[in-house]
Amino acid sequence: RTATGGPFAVLLSGGVDSSLVLAGLRRWLDVPVTAYTFDYEGYEGPWNEYERAHRLARHLGVRHEKVPMGPAWVADRLPSLLRQYEEPFTFGIHTARLETLRADGIGTVLTGALPGFPGRWELSRAETLGLELGGWPRVPWPVVVRLTRPLGRWRQTERFHAVTRMAAGGAPLVYLKKGVNTIVREEDRRRVYRDPALFEAGNAARRKWLEQMAAEIAGPDRFAALALLTNRLLQAEHNLWWNHRWGEAHGLWFRFPFLDLDVVAFLARLRGDANKTLLREVAATVMPREIAFAPKLGQAAPLWRWLAMPPLRDLVRATLTPERLAATGLFRPEPILHALEEHLQGRRAHQWLLWTILSFLLWQEHVLEAPAAGPRLI
């Protein structure tokens, strides 16, 4: 119901979601398939999932290919990637290298992208408690937030104040608290704009938009509201969008089996499955339990390290100059250059602030101000 023409491939991480897609294709449907896993050069850590993924591919007897990515590849390709994407981008860099799949003749790529149900498996205790308490109808949470604001000044009590803020703010505030949904912290965005009114206007517009969207899906279950927000924003305009753009650039179809409407409707009815337990039990019928129940890992390229490594470091230095930053009319060069030096010296990680500005400046040069190309068929 979700696929088009082969040959078929699966983008395989070490997590249960893509593992179950691969195992289902082989064990349930007997579909020939190749697995591909991105491998980040210059980095040794948990986000390099090739070895973990390879155990499953070997168990299933599936051909498994490593797709290497590193700072040299990114620095060399970034202008062309921005032309392909047609707008600045952030997290999408970690699935940009698809020419390997195209060269292998792949036609359709399947991933383990999940809907936002059930909504609790990526929430902290404070976020969970805030959503639960916010459902108490007789508590004037805005008043409680004002009364507890002094508690936010001390480390011992700041979490209590954070819980009351999330109880008052509901799903929109909890959604924004997740780093993947905001990318650059508010204090950083406020600092880098030349005109503070730009930040305030943008923040107000975003808040109004989220509140309108939350009102459309309002109901007694705040966790369901958060899951619906995640579906409408994070899934549709984040990971599904970048997969579509990179796939389109390489002539590949992307398909998402877990987003089949029947599957989404079923997952939406689950309650209390905070660790994908049911999904893991199903996976354990077609793969070893230690793979099915392996801990969840986030997926992102190690940009904090790559930005400090040549030649990507050199590209950042050559692009984020005082003259170029000032010429945009948008940014204050001083805080950006200070963040760059802090990052390169290893004193504080500013990878997403630096990357978003780098991506914006190169997009401005190579897409916005470049001679118009011929019409594209999307």
Per-residue pLDDT of the chain (378 residues; tens, 9 = 90+): 566 788 999 999 989 999 999 999 999 999 999 999 999 999 988 889 999 999 999 999 999 999 999 999 999 999 999 998 889 998 888 888 999 999 999 999 999 988 765 455 567 778 888 888 887 777 887 888 888 888 777 776 777 777 888 888 877 878 777 767 788 888 899 999 999 899 999 989 988 888 888 888 777 778 778 888 888 888 888 888 889 999 999 999 999 999 898 988 888 777 666 678 888 999 999 999 999 998 877 678 899 999 999 999 999 999 999 999 999 999 999 999 999 999 999 999 999 999 999 999 999 999 998 876 655 544
Among 23, 14, 96, which Cα is nearest to 52's? 14
Please give the structure tokens belonging to residue 210.
């989220």
DSSP string, 38-64: EEETT--STT--HHHHHHHHHHHT-EE
Provide CATH 3.40.50.620 ranges for the chain. Answer: 8-117+235-292
The predicted structure's pLDDT at residue 373: 63
- The answer to whether the CB of 3 falls within 8 A of the CB of 108 is yes
For 164-221, the pLDDT digits (tens) are 888 888 778 787 777 677 888 888 999 999 998 999 999 899 888 888 888 887 777 7
- State the Cα–Cα distance between residues 158 and 125, nearest whole angstrom: 14
Q: What is the β-pairing status of strands 33-40 and 63-69?
A: parallel
Helix ranges (DSSP H) in the chain: 16-23, 50-60, 71-85, 99-103, 125-134, 141-148, 158-177, 179-182, 186-192, 196-216, 222-230, 240-249, 261-268, 277-283, 289-292, 303-306, 312-319, 322-327, 333-344, 351-363
Token duo for residue 46: 């948990």
Class of domain 8-117+235-292: alpha beta
Q: Largest Cα–Cα distance in the chain?
A: 62
Q: CA gyration radius for the chain?
A: 22
List, for residues 133-154, the tens digit of each pLDDT value.
887 777 887 888 888 888 777 7
Q: Is 253 helix (H, G, I), strand (E, B) or coil?
A: strand
Q: In what order do the strands lie in the sheet with 63-69?
A: 63-69, 33-40, 8-11, 108-110, 253-255
Cα–Cα distance measured from residue 276 to residue 313, given in angstroms and rounded to the nearest whole number: 39
- What gap in Å lies between CA 162 and CA 346, rounded to an integer? 29
Q: State residue 99's pLDDT score.
A: 92
Bridge-based pairing of strands 33-40 and 8-11 is parallel
Q: Which of 277, 372, 362, 365 is nearest to 74 (CA)?
A: 362
Q: Is 33 helix (H, G, I), strand (E, B) or coil?
A: strand
Give me the pLDDT at residue 20, please. 96
Please report, in angstroms and rounded to a whole number, the separation of the first and last CA atoms in the chain: 22
pLDDT single digits (tens) 357-374? 999 999 999 999 887 665
Cross-strand bridge partners of residue 104: none
Contact 332, 192 (CB under 8 A): yes
Structure tokens at 301: 């390229």
Query: DSSP secondary-structure letter at 302?
Result: -
